[in-house]
Structure 1
């Protein structure tokens, strides 16, 4: 979309000075031990968003491991995290020339002061800039309208059902064909597509891709379900460093059974390159 010549240039946050960077920054207390105060700005209803939490753990592992970038990271969400103090403990499992593998757990404290494990992850890190440039793929970027023809929470007459503080920190513009749920007429297709970015204009990097795969409204809404859809397990593959500009995120669900559904996500950058993929298992409330 081309802006009018008289329009002011957008203010863009650079990597390192955005709200996302501040809210995912961890403080090393000791080797392999990190402190963080989980921000209430990334909550959905009262629970902290799973993608934000994965980015927090991703930051800690990037510091603990000798390689800089997440290649694959799998998280099991054990109990719901709440805004406030948390501690992350990491362990290096293996270090190689091109990949290093580690695990991390995030803990918070109960009313008696005892530690409660919230999330446990296993991840392999490498250097995305060292990968070869060849791409051989049958995958194609999702096709949906330009950004100015899509709609976000701020475009509705009232807050989008299920939205919360996190929507103020994101630039989400959803494909109108996946917005039936917001109008009381879900399509039943289990699809969600959206332009994605951070509200302050910070461009995406590998860590923010861990947020992007879990930031859209649940596909369960388009199936006709309502309410919170908590993540049980989430695996993300980061395939390339994203180019500057907004991302396109496409998420699909093909099977809901026994109260659980899967969500398969693809994230494409402004050059039509597939930069991240994910699959998660989530619990659906059927009543």
Structure 2
């Protein structure tokens, strides 16, 4: 498999180096910090890239389902992704992967994942895609205002970006109707949505989608609950390779209870194709 390009910031940030024991060394970039730790979607992409490298020889290089449990907050600096191939099959392979860091010489697990990979190109053919289309179950793309009428997330006040430098990694343009929390007027509908691209225009791919599903602000902001919302568990499903251009991302929640909330994410590419979905369980921000 050809070496991954490092022209773009995201590729440099998720780069891994193989160890003979099946582990992969990574350097977690401080530019992806938000709140009390490194962004969970970025970390999932680091792990996803290591799994991709581990399975390269099999041709199973695309994530289909990645389920992650966040055990402790990661910090910028060296990390290792430990991998074990649990199953190597014809259509799919499954890898158990754990991202760890060493603190004062002690191994500290940060994220434990189970990832199923395959070939997204082979998964789509004319017969199965036609049968799916005939069901008329496609999830419609939200209607968003034009790009120029949306709010650029990286224009957030400097005091906010001190605790969320990852905003400079994105060119996200938020739908104003779901971003009034920024001026103290949340809609309380539990929805945040907008146009998405990376700040340096790096095209999205299946590994990047693992980051995109956790790229928008926590949906609790729209409920009038600002603050860091640590993820306990996140499962991402990649449905197709995204076409170039602006993606549309929507986060929503239906339940806040017991100090926790669920957040569902849907991602459509520039052609209106649903390319990724996720659900996560996270801690309700303290107010």
Q: When the two structures are superposed, what TM-score results if normalisation uses the length of structure 2?
A: 0.91
Q: Give per-residue Cα distances to partners, 1:43-83, cap 9 Å, x unaligned.
A: 11341000000000000101112211000000000000000
Provide closer, same or farther for how the CA distance between residues 167 and 258 of structure 1 changes in structure 2, counting only shifts above 3 A: same
Provide closer, same or farther for how the CA distance between residues 50 and 146 of structure 1 changes in structure 2, counting only shifts above 3 A: same
Matched residue, 2:116: 124
Deviating runs (4+, > 6 A) in structure 1? none
Q: Secondary structure at the match of 1:188?
A: coil
Matched residue, 1:7: none
Task: Determine whether 1:105 maps to 2:98.
Answer: yes
Shift of 1:106: 0.7
More helix by share: 2
After TM superposition, list the pairs within 5 Å mapping 1:77-96 onto structure 2: 77-96=70-89
The match for 2:12 among 22, 26, 32 is: 22
Which stretch has the larger CA shift, 129-138 or 258-267? Answer: 129-138
The match for 1:45 among 24, 27, 35 is: 35
CA distance in 1, matches of 2:156, 2:15: 33
Show structure 1 runs of 5+ residues with no match: 1-13
CA distance in 2, matches of 1:224, 1:39: 30
Alignment size in residue pairs: 273
Shift of 1:154: 4.0
Q: When the two structures are superposed, what TM-score results if normalisation uses the length of structure 1?
A: 0.91
Q: Please, what is the CA RMSD of the aligned residues? A: 1.6
**Contact 1:228–1:285 (8 Å) recurs in 2:** yes
CA distance in 1, matches of 2:167, 2:73: 19
After TM superposition, list the pairs within 5 Å mapping 1:198-277 onto structure 2: 198-277=198-277
Matched residue, 2:164: 164
